[in-house]
Amino acid sequence: MTDKVIHQKVLLNQIIGLIIGYLVTRFITLGMVSYFTPDQIAIFVTILFFIFSYLRMYSIDWFFKYILKKV
């Protein structure tokens, strides 16, 4: 894998991470504020971001491997 491809992969990961982070914060976390304690919210969000991060990176790796095989 070339440096250019590695940079594209990292950039795509960061952009998707920003979008997911915004959506989770806006539509999930802020809705939980009146129902749960700050510690419960922190634990939930940490676990949620871990899962999303793993799935995001796995999907991006799969996508790049698929694209590079086509070229």
Report the candidate in 17, 19, 20, 25 with the shortest Cα–Cα distance to residue 44: 25
Mean pLDDT on 1-18: 93
pLDDT, tens digit (0-9, with 9 covering 90-100), for 16-65: 999 999 998 899 888 888 899 999 999 999 999 999 999 999 999 999 99
How confident is the model at residue 32, as a pLDDT?
A: 87
Give the start-to-end residue ranges of the domains of the chain: 3-70
Cβ-contact 53, 2 below 8 angstroms: no
How confident is the model at residue 28, as a pLDDT?
A: 87
Cβ-contact 68, 60 below 8 angstroms: no
Residue 1 confidence (pLDDT) above 80 = no
Amino acid in the structure at residue 49? F
Cβ-contact 45, 24 below 8 angstroms: yes
